[in-house]
Structure 1
């Protein structure tokens, strides 16, 4: 049976029907499918430009700028007078007062009150309050609040001296502009109840604007004139201005240089570094990578001796007297374990273990070098009853 026209047409066959009157069927090719419409190409993304500008408007505190210009200019003149004109006793007086002020910051505001790394009886606390007032780096309460925020939010907008903004900002520039709003916001949330319970700290805070000029400038300049006959002009520029400006910059190096140049034996993922020059200038505060990992260690360092950590010698002396107690330290194994896990390999003890890799080698379960956290957190299935 011959196919009908519809069938032939659909099949595309060419055939002449034998029945009279019907025309010959022509072969028809099937219609070509329409080409698939592709979506229009997406435009290439524009190159992103990094916005390195601060996300807040820097408001310059011109009063501080003028004060710092005067201090540094007058201190250079004071240095000249110290070399050429000042009496030898005045130079020794500068060193003595610089050491007292430094202890008020490092042993007092920093290690005692900010980090609570040891405890002190009231005679030592009173001495440290006086020494801290000589240093004039704001009263203890404000210093501690900003420093606790610095540790909790290092190198973020909440960090008062954020080192990611460069050396100048973290060294002195942060004091020339208004604080970032995050600094104030986070500062309000920091627990300061321990300082609020300390009557000596709150006494200093209450009377700071009266006692600070007396202890930082008036007495340091007046005593050399009165006791050994120093020239008042020389005494002011050497014993007051030069001594104060030098102590400021030694402290500021901890915020700037000790966050930029050095090694990171304990945690390579944070900015603080170990810096011997800063340790010398700041009475032992240069072991900064260790300090940010273990801020509760009263030594603020694992390595170094009294020559490179005079603050520790100061605290140890008063501990011998019985005025300082509850001195907190980090066990050696804990420090080495952290260095092996997170450090950059520069720890001197780990240099000898490079053949075994950065992590201390162990022979198996029960090895004394096995980290305590691994022993504690290991999964032990089917334990014997």
Structure 2
């Protein structure tokens, strides 16, 4: 019998002359189970099932909000109108400056007091806890524009903004979500406090206090309270929060269009095309959620908080840094995102940069 042994890195391959099969019993087999994946392990399904409770809730919210719109225009008192806009504004602020820029992307650091306020504002949005929302959003960024992205904008605005909310994540996506690094939020006492007591906070802050105020303080009708402050307010904050993931469908550019996003030259012009810039540099605090850069109420609020000492370590990428990264990418043939991250470590930003625009 002839035996040939070929040694390659991490493996020992044995070729045996099958004319003498009895010799196999004398060959020592090497246990490789710790290095070779179990081929019998089933692959997780990528199919998504309908989330029927969500379907029913969203249908009712949208239909009942139509009556809420009628009441807001024709019957609700002025104080209810003002209260409606106040609640929706602070809820959206909690989502944009809080859940998105602060907790999802660490665009700045906030004092404990500011974090508590933003947590309360985010609870008023009624879209789930900060922890859960951030985990979904980080999954979105980690697998952006792929089939594993639950908000894949390549499937169109209707899917990215609305239809995907009617389905559960697939088992495969659930596995990917469980692998998202959430260690920073697990160390944040404000986030964990809200996560543990979310439904109690939701009942008090989102339902009880807002619905009671029009009845208690300016004697508006039960209908106005329920349909305007209840359903219509929820509809507005719901779509505002959904638009954070689907905004690229509205303000983004697709390959093949004028100044397409797959051309690096698009970023030379003062980071104009926001959505694609945001997915390259998600930690820039100036990146607005709704197609803006270095403008908008959320960015202005962060600047005010920084001036008051409530927000620190504001992350920003200067235009000259982007230009240097572009030159480096063209010269070295490296990935643009890698070049941007390397250039950011070398940039020098004045401490009071938040006091200036541009």
Give the TM-score of the pair, scaled to structure 1.
0.66
2:300 pairs, out of 313, 318, 328, with 313
Judged with a 3 Å threshold, the aligned counterparts in structure 2 of structure 1 residues 57 and 200 are, in CA distance, closer, same or farther, namely same
Cα contact 1:267–1:338 (8 A) shared by 2: no
User: 1:33: which partner in 2?
Assistant: none
Q: What do residues 89-130 of structure 1 show as CA deviations (whole Å, max 9, x unaligned)?
A: 111111111111011111111100110110001000000110
Q: Which has the larger radius of gyration?
A: 1
Residues 125-144 of structure 1: pairs in structure 2 closer than 5 A:
125-144=115-134
**Structure 2 residue 202 is matched with structure 1 residue 219:** no
Give unmatched runs, 5+ long, in structure 2.
1-44, 268-272, 331-341, 347-358
Give unmatched runs, 5+ long, in structure 1.
1-54, 275-285, 343-358, 360-371, 377-385
Judged with a 3 Å threshold, the aligned counterparts in structure 2 of structure 1 residues 208 and 266 are, in CA distance, closer, same or farther, namely farther
Judged with a 3 Å threshold, the aligned counterparts in structure 2 of structure 1 residues 267 and 341 are, in CA distance, closer, same or farther, namely farther
Cα contact 1:267–1:293 (8 A) shared by 2: no
2:321 pairs, out of 308, 327, 334, with 334
1:59 pairs, out of 40, 46, 49, with 49
User: 1:381: which partner in 2?
Assistant: none
**Structure 2 residue 125 is matched with structure 1 residue 159:** no
Cα contact 1:267–1:339 (8 A) shared by 2: no
Cα contact 2:211–2:226 (8 A) shared by 1: yes
CA deviation after TM superposition for structure 1 residue 195, in Å = 0.5
2:287 pairs, out of 297, 300, 303, with 300
Cα contact 1:157–1:183 (8 A) shared by 2: no
User: 2:7: which partner in 1?
Assistant: none
Judged with a 3 Å threshold, the aligned counterparts in structure 2 of structure 1 residues 336 and 95 are, in CA distance, closer, same or farther, namely farther
CA distance in 2, matches of 1:72, 1:173: 14
**Structure 2 residue 97 is matched with structure 1 residue 107:** yes
Judged with a 3 Å threshold, the aligned counterparts in structure 2 of structure 1 residues 76 and 331 are, in CA distance, closer, same or farther, namely same
Secondary structure of the residue that 2:137 maps to in structure 1?
helix
1:80 pairs, out of 65, 70, 86, with 70
Give the TM-score of the pair, scaled to structure 2.
0.71
Cα contact 2:49–2:170 (8 A) shared by 1: no
Judged with a 3 Å threshold, the aligned counterparts in structure 2 of structure 1 residues 338 and 82 are, in CA distance, closer, same or farther, namely farther
CA deviation after TM superposition for structure 1 residue 248, in Å = 1.1
Secondary structure of the residue that 1:116 maps to in structure 2?
coil
Judged with a 3 Å threshold, the aligned counterparts in structure 2 of structure 1 residues 310 and 260 are, in CA distance, closer, same or farther, namely closer
| Higher RCO, 1 vs 2 (CA within 8 Å, ≥6 residues apart) | 2
User: 2:240: which partner in 1?
Assistant: 250
Cα contact 2:252–2:276 (8 A) shared by 1: no
CA deviation after TM superposition for structure 1 residue 337, in Å = 5.0
User: 1:268: which partner in 2?
Assistant: 261
CA deviation after TM superposition for structure 1 residue 304, in Å = 4.6
CA distance in 2, matches of 1:333, 1:305: 15
CA deviation after TM superposition for structure 1 residue 188, in Å = 1.6
CA distance in 2, matches of 1:219, 1:238: 14
CA deviation after TM superposition for structure 1 residue 256, in Å = 2.5
CA distance in 2, matches of 1:115, 1:206: 22
Judged with a 3 Å threshold, the aligned counterparts in structure 2 of structure 1 residues 241 and 175 are, in CA distance, closer, same or farther, namely same
Judged with a 3 Å threshold, the aligned counterparts in structure 2 of structure 1 residues 244 and 338 are, in CA distance, closer, same or farther, namely farther
CA distance in 2, matches of 1:226, 1:75: 22
CA distance in 1, matches of 2:259, 2:203: 41
Cα contact 1:146–1:187 (8 A) shared by 2: yes
CA deviation after TM superposition for structure 1 residue 226, in Å = 0.7
User: 2:81: which partner in 1?
Assistant: 91
Cα contact 1:149–1:159 (8 A) shared by 2: yes
Judged with a 3 Å threshold, the aligned counterparts in structure 2 of structure 1 residues 72 and 305 are, in CA distance, closer, same or farther, namely same
Residues 174-185 of structure 1: pairs in structure 2 closer than 5 A:
174-185=164-175
- The size of the alignment, in residue pairs, is 277
